[in-house]
């Protein structure tokens, strides 16, 4: 049995280089995510360590690197503020509840994987994912504008947007100086110095240059810095359950779990495309869930598959879980030995790095194609993005999925309706044989072929009844289900209504070509019981010949 998915030692050099490179990229991002969450930089490091290690060894995407991501950080920031705000006199209690939510989120992810729900994540339409991710990018940018200009970070995107005039009127020149340097590096180096960016990722360059500039050219205290960072192995935290808040905590945990699942499996698809492999979605959810559960026990941020770190890992040669696990071990070594060295990092430097993360998350590719994209998809994308920024992330995804589902149902219904044909002569049909066409033409409209095509569902049932009701003048109807592979309960009731209406009008009706699955449903609902002996046919020609004979006999 393969306990570690994709593990082998044939690529050890590439995995070591990939893991080291991913750790270099993850270092500034993990600290920045920790600061942005409100929990602190060390929480971001712990999240990268635990989620990165366990998701790599237990997950289903060998080359994936996991850790705190923009979307997960935004949600965790809201959760942390929510629960610490409930205990203003005892913030430690609120923090304990917040990390218990992280544990719950991890447990829910494990449950998702064990229930094999991973495949359903792939059903989320691209406009929903695009709007959601773009909204997350906008949120990150709005929340980091304050720290970039030397002001206190706001916890809500709309409030941060409203504070922009205040930020601009109270700019901290030192913070702005550092922020401009960082932004120039993170945007400029990949574009103008790609060779250097491949050797040393631009976020790490920005971290060192920004911090060095602060230490050399700016007076201590002139701009906010991270401050003291604890070192050593993290302390184990027992989960705290507050019965009165249990429903809220479950809802928060489900939000983290659902978002983490989407975030991780989307990154898994990216990894598949680069490495030409296939991930195991349910196993990936279990690995991510175990990583997040352990992170919650040790005060770490929740995480997910991180696209940037995964791409960097693969490009550096990483192909197996060794690289993802090594990245976590390297970060642990940094925390144990060099945490105190990071205390002088200015918050404006981390804000600049995060703003780049925010702009990278925005789906610019979809925005560029909006001119030629379907209008319905554009509407879904924009609504999801706006709701994500202004109201709630989970609500945004829910609204997007409902809209996409109705749109899909409308399209399927239209296809089903287009497949409903009332045929009384050969000119109206293309699928009939010459002999069948001749019989219809000779009947002069007295034989009506009611032909359905494709799987029929509840959404088209009314259309089936209306189409039948609009047809008159025939004496014998052939209900032709030859090209219908399946029907649901509602369609079976609609067909029964058609059958009874036809019989009540003194006309005859034959059932033709019902496949086994369709026939079984009609029998279960008692529809076939209305057909007398000799009125059920497997072949359309036999039914037409019988109808022709009845007409001749008068």
CATH number of the domain that 474 lies in? 3.30.750.24
CA distance 522 to 528: 6
Confidence of residue 53 (pLDDT cuts 50, 70, 90): very high
By C-alpha distance, which of 539, 526, 457 is closest to 497? 526
Q: What is the mean pLDDT of the chain?
A: 86
Q: Which domain holds residue 516?
A: 419-553
Angle in degrees, CA 311, 314, 319, rounded to 5: 140
In a shared domain, residues 395 and 527: no
The answer as to whether 222 is a domain residue is yes
Tell which of 379, 408, 437 closes a domain: 408
The set of residues, in sequence order, having a beta carbon less than 8 Å from that of 340 and lying 6+ positions away, is: 228, 229, 231
The answer as to whether 5 is a domain residue is no
* Terminal C-alpha separation, the chain: 74
In the three-class reduction of DSSP (H, G, I as helix; E, B as strand; rest coil), residue 478 is classed as strand
The answer as to whether 101 is a domain residue is yes
The answer as to whether 413 is a domain residue is no
In a shared domain, residues 447 and 392: no
CA distance 224 to 175: 8
Residue in the structure block whose two tokens are 């052939």: 478
CA distance 68 to 361: 14
The answer as to whether 414 is a domain residue is no
Q: What is the pLDDT of residues 461-488, one digit of tens each?
A: 888 888 888 877 888 888 888 888 888 8
pLDDT of residue 2: 66
The answer as to whether 2 is a domain residue is no
For the ranges 40-54, 154-168, 173-187, the lowest mean pLDDT is seen at 154-168
CA distance 431 to 453: 11
In a shared domain, residues 166 and 300: yes
The answer as to whether 4 is a domain residue is no
CA distance 144 to 151: 9
Q: Is the pLDDT of residue 50 over 50?
A: yes
In a shared domain, residues 431 and 397: no
In a shared domain, residues 471 and 398: no
Q: Is the pLDDT of residue 229 over 70?
A: no
302's tokens: 């929740």
In a shared domain, residues 388 and 424: no
In a shared domain, residues 121 and 102: yes
pLDDT of residue 1: 42
Q: What is the pLDDT of residues 90-104, one digit of tens each?
A: 888 999 999 999 999
In a shared domain, residues 343 and 323: yes
In a shared domain, residues 215 and 258: yes
pTM summary value = 0.74
Overall domain count for the chain: 2
Confidence of residue 116 (pLDDT cuts 50, 70, 90): very high
The answer as to whether 372 is a domain residue is yes
In the three-class reduction of DSSP (H, G, I as helix; E, B as strand; rest coil), residue 170 is classed as coil
In a shared domain, residues 279 and 238: yes
The set of residues, in sequence order, having a beta carbon less than 8 Å from that of 299 and lying 6+ positions away, is: 39, 42, 43, 46, 99, 234, 235, 237
The pLDDT of 440-460, averaged and rounded, is 85
In a shared domain, residues 239 and 104: yes
In a shared domain, residues 381 and 453: no
């Amino acid at each position: 049995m393969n306990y570690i998915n994709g593990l082998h030692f044939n690529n050890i050099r590439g995995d070591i280089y990939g893991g080291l490179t991913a750790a270099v990229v993850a270092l500034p991002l993990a600290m920045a995510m920790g600061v942005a969450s409100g929990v602190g930089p060390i929480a971001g490091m712990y999240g990268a360590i635990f989620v990165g290690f366990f998701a790599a060894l237990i997950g289903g995407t060998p080359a994936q690197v996991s850790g705190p991501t923009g979307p997960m950080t935004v949600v965790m920031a809201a959760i942390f503020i929510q629960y610490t705000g409930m205990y203003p006199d005892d913030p430690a209690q609120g923090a304990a509840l917040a990390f218990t939510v992280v544990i719950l989120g991890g447990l829910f992810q494990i449950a998702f994987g064990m229930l094999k729900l991973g495949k359903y994540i792939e059903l989320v339409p691209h406009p929903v994912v695009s709007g959601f991710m773009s909204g997350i990018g906008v949120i990150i940018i709005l929340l980091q504008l304050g720290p970039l200009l030397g002001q206190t970070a706001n916890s809500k995107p709309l409030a941060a947007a409203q504070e922009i005039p205040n930020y601009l009127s109270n700019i901290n020149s030192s913070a702005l100086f550092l922020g401009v340097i960082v932004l120039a590096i993170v945007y400029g180096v990949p574009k103008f110095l790609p060779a250097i960016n491949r050797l040393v990722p631009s976020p790490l360059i920005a971290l060192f240059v920004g911090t060095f500039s602060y230490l050399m050219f700016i007076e201590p205290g002139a701009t906010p810095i991270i401050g003291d960072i604890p070192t050593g192995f993290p302390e184990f935290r027992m989960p705290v359950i507050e019965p009165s808040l249990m429903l809220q905590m479950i809802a928060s945990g489900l939000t983290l779990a659902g978002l983490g699942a989407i975030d991780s499996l989307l990154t898994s698809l990216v990894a598949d495309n680069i490495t030409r492999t296939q991930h195991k979605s349910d196993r990936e959810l279990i690995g991510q869930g175990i990583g997040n559960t352990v992170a919650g026990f040790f005060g770490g941020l929740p995480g997910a598959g991180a696209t940037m770190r995964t791409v960097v890992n693969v490009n550096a040669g990483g192909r197996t879980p060794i690289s993802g696990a090594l990245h976590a071990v390297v970060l642990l070594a940094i925390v144990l030995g060099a945490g105190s060295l990071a205390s002088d990092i200015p918050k404006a430097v981390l804000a600049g790095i995060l703003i780049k993360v925010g702009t990278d998350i925005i789906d610019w590719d979809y925005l560029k194609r909006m001119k030629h994209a379907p209008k319905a998809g554009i509407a879904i994308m924009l609504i999801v993005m706006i709701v994500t920024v202004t109201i709630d992330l989970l609500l945004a995804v829910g609204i997007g999925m409902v809209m996409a589902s109705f749109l899909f149902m409308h399209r399927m219904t239209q296809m089903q309706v287009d497949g409903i044909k009332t045929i009384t002569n050969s000119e109206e049909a293309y699928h009939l044989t010459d002999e069948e066409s001749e019989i219809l033409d000779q009947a002069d409209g007295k034989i009506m072929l009611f032909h359905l095509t494709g799987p029929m569902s509840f959404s088209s049932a009314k259309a089936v009844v209306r189409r039948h009701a609009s047809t008159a003048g025939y004496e014998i109807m052939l209900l032709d289900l030859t090209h219908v592979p399946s029907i649901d309960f509602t369609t079976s009731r609609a067909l029964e209504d058609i059958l009874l209406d036809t019989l009540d009008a003194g006309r005859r009706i034959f059932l033709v070509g019902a496949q086994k699955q369709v026939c079984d449903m009609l029998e279960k609902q008692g529809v076939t019981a209305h057909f007398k002996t000799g009125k059920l046919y497997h072949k359309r020609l036999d039914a037409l010949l019988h109808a022709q004979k009845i007409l001749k006999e008068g």
